[in-house]
């Protein structure tokens, strides 16, 4: 009996193997170095894709109706960006060429979840999703006239208790409508009182939803937000620790590690640039009004490349537009990017034909400058920060994230194929729209959106990532 059972098992196994090899997949990625942070696989493999799903990962060649020859290239899970502003056809194109297959706007978010997804219903180049954001909700309740960030009452007027109640109601509604998470940005809403912020975090705590927060600067900012999240029992995700931390980045990462050690649910992310960018009219920049000239000179007007002084700061503030903030050092960027705590997230920012180079180069910059050139990060660790970690952060609430960020049978066929010897970002602060080099193929839900380094026109395989 035992021998018979064994023979049967072997027979079934051989049968299955033959089945896989005889199967004609829709798409095969052949001969690539498959790197998967979840299983720690780093071997030459062949990947068979059926429809939207990875159906086989095999050491033996597979046959398919279409074949991508990935010999000499790295085959990785598609990159998941937890911090992607823009969310326009233009930014999806930029990000696809940087290897991003899922772009989520979780910091600012939106005030109307149903409407946001309905606007993108026709399909997009890459997968997309959004949080319900305290900033836009506050703008709506306080009737702020700003388009993306508050410029009047949304930033500068304290809310009544009825208005705070209304904000909490709208946040709850957004979660019911399937928001991926919650968003907040304290420097953009300086008039929000501790009571108001606690109310926001209580909504997150009740629903066990992470709040993606742009904190106030430095150790004090992190202390404030960790206390709020702790009091409300809300999961916390601190966005761009590099630009919120600057010289205190290492210390703040230690604080996060300690909090995690004590059981607090707190995660963080970084982008690999020493300068930030934001709208010059936002409340975040109020402090520069009376700042010493030396500090104002940290600001650059990207259209001309000039460093600002008090006079030109006022002039451009009346005009409006993005401004570059040279507030960090390369040393601290390396601390932020290489910490095992950080995910890589771009904070992609693009408006009226210009923006920050991180929009087009975040992921290729990490893989080119930090993995290959300075070797301060291993390929596996870098990919984990771009794929598995962001998926794991969201998967308790968002079912779609359980099948993203990994290469295994049954996972979504979101795949990025790149040349590890060539990959590099090309964008600069003056010229931020340049596509990186070395990203060869990007596949979203089984459909190539980048082939041989070029965008594929007329495809829209990107699906909504939503918590329902």
DSSP state of 366: I
Minimum CB separation from Zn ion for residue 105, in Å?
9
> Which segment (105-113, 123-131, 253-261, 355-363) binds Zn ion by CB under 5 A?
105-113
**Is 201 or 271 the residue whose CB approaches Zn ion more closely?**
271
> Which segment (51-59, 135-143, 341-349, 359-367) binds Zn ion by CB under 5 A?
341-349
**Is 49 or 222 the residue whose CB approaches Zn ion more closely?**
222
**Is 83 or 372 the residue whose CB approaches Zn ion more closely?**
83
Minimum CB separation from Zn ion for residue 91, in Å?
13
- For position 107 contacting Zn ion by CB under 5 A, the verdict is yes
Structure tokens at 237: 């995700």
**Is 34 or 275 the residue whose CB approaches Zn ion more closely?**
275
Distance CA 402, CA 129 (A): 15
Give alpha helix (H) positions in 1-149. Answer: 2-22, 89-97, 113-119, 134-141
**Is 31 or 244 the residue whose CB approaches Zn ion more closely?**
244
Residues in contact with 430: Cβ distance below 8 Å, sequence separation at least 6, in sequence order: 302, 305
> Which segment (129-137, 252-260, 340-348, 457-465) binds Zn ion by CB under 5 A?
340-348
Q: CB of 464 within 8 A of CB of 118? A: no
- For position 105 contacting Zn ion by CB under 5 A, the verdict is no
**Is 107 or 199 the residue whose CB approaches Zn ion more closely?**
107
Q: How far is CA 234 from the centre of its chain?
A: 20
> Which segment (1-9, 103-111, 221-229, 270-278) binds Zn ion by CB under 5 A?
103-111
Minimum CB separation from Zn ion for residue 238, in Å?
12
Residue written as token pair 């709020």: 228
SS (H, E, C) 213-269: EECCCHHHHHHHHHHHHHHHCCCEEECCHHHHHHHHHHHHHHHHHHHHHCCCCEEEE
Distance CA 321, CA 430 (A): 14
Minimum CB separation from Zn ion for residue 107, in Å?
4
The β-bridge relationship of strands 236-238 and 276-279 is unpaired
Residue count, binding to Zn ion (CB under 5 A) = 2
Q: By C-alpha distance, which of 23, 25, 79 is closest to 407?
A: 79
Minimum CB separation from Zn ion for residue 397, in Å?
21
**Is 107 or 144 the residue whose CB approaches Zn ion more closely?**
107
Question: Could you write out the DSSP letters of every residue in 33-46?
Answer: EEEETTTTEEEEEE
**Is 34 or 241 the residue whose CB approaches Zn ion more closely?**
241
Beta bridge partners of 110: 132
Minimum CB separation from Zn ion for residue 70, in Å?
33
Residue written as token pair 């290729």: 364
Angle between helices 89-97 and 358-365 (to 10 degrees): 20
> Which segment (29-37, 71-79, 100-108, 168-176) binds Zn ion by CB under 5 A?
100-108
Residues 56-85 touching Zn ion, rule: CB under 5 A, are none
**Is 199 or 347 the residue whose CB approaches Zn ion more closely?**
347
Spell out, one character per residue from 353 to 372, where the chain touches Zn ion: x when CB under 5 A holds, - when not: --------------------
Minimum CB separation from Zn ion for residue 84, in Å?
9
Minimum CB separation from Zn ion for residue 423, in Å?
24
**Is 106 or 400 the residue whose CB approaches Zn ion more closely?**
106
**Is 242 or 440 the residue whose CB approaches Zn ion more closely?**
242
Q: By C-alpha distance, which of 7, 44, 45, 47 is closest to 23?
A: 47
Minimum CB separation from Zn ion for residue 244, in Å?
11
Task: Determine which helix (DSSP H) or strand (DSSP E) holds 439, and give its type and residue range.
Answer: strand 439-444
Minimum CB separation from Zn ion for residue 182, in Å?
14
Minimum CB separation from Zn ion for residue 347, in Å?
4
Options 81, 279, 347, 351; binder of Zn ion; rule CB under 5 A: 347
3-state secondary structure (DSSP) of residue 275: coil
- For position 279 contacting Zn ion by CB under 5 A, the verdict is no
Q: How many CB atoms lie within 10 A of CB 170?
A: 21
Residue written as token pair 């990462």: 253
> Which segment (102-110, 130-138, 187-195, 280-288) binds Zn ion by CB under 5 A?
102-110
Q: Please classify residue 59 by burial: count the beta carbons closer than 10 Å to its beta carbon, then call 0-12 exposed, 13-18 middle and 19+ buried.
A: exposed
- Per CB under 5 A, residues contacting Zn ion are 107, 347
């Amino acid at each position: 009996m035992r021998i018979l059972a064994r023979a049967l098992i072997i027979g079934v196994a051989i049968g299955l193997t033959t089945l896989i090899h005889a199967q004609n997949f829709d798409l095969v990625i052949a001969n690539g170095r498959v790197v998967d942070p979840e299983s720690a696989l780093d071997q030459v493999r062949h990947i068979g894709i059926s429809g939207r799903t990875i159906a086989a990962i095999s050491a033996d060649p597979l046959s398919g109706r279409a074949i991508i020859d990935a010999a000499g290239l790295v085959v990785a899970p598609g990159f998941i960006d937890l911090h992607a502003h823009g969310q326009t056809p233009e930014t999806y194109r930029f990000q696809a060429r940087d290897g991003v297959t899922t772009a989520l706007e979780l910091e600012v978010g939106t005030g109307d979840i149903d409407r946001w997804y309905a606007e993108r219903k026709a399909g997009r180049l890459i997968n997309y999703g959004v949080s319900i954001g305290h900033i836009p909700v506050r703008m709506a309740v306080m009737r702020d006239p700003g388009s993306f960030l508050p410029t009047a009452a949304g930033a500068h007027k304290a809310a009544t208790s009825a208005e705070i109640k209304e904000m909490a109601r709208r946040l709850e509604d957004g979660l019911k409508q399937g928001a991926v998470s919650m968003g907040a940005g304290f420097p953009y809403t300086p008039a929000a009182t501790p009571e108001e912020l606690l109310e926001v975090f209580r909504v997150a705590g009740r629903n066990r939803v992470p709040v993606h927060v742009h904190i106030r600067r430095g150790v004090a900012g992190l202390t404030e937000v960790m206390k709020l999240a702790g009091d409300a029992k809300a999961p916390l995700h601190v966005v761009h620790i590099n630009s919120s931390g600057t010289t205190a980045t290492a210390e703040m990462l230690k604080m996060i590690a300690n909090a995690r050690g004590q059981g607090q649910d707190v995660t963080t992310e970084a982008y690999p640039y020493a300068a930030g960018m934001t709208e010059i009219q936002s409340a975040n920049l109020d402090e520069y009004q009376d700042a010493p000239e030396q500090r104002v000179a940290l600001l650059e007007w990207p259209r001309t490349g000039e460093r600002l002084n008090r006079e030109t700061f006022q002039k451009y503030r009346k005009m409006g537009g993005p401004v570059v903030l040279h507030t960090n050092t390369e040393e601290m960027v390396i601390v932020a990017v290489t910490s095992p705590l950080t995910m890589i997230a771009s904070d992609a920012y693009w408006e009226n034909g210009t923006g920050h180079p991180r929009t087009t180069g975040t992921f290729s910059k990490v893989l080119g400058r930090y993995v290959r050139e300075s070797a301060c990060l291993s390929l596996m660790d870098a990919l984990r920060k771009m794929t598995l970690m962001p998926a794991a952060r969201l998967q308790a609430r968002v079912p779609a994230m359980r099948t993203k960020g990994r290469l295994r049978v049954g996972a979504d066929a979101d795949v990025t194929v790149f040349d590890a010897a060539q990959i590099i970002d090309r964008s600069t602060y003056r010229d931020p729209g340049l596509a990186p080099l070395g990203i060869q193929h990007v596949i979203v839900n089984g459909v190539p959106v980048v082939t041989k380094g070029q965008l594929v026109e007329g495809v829209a395989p990107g699906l909504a990532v939503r918590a329902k």
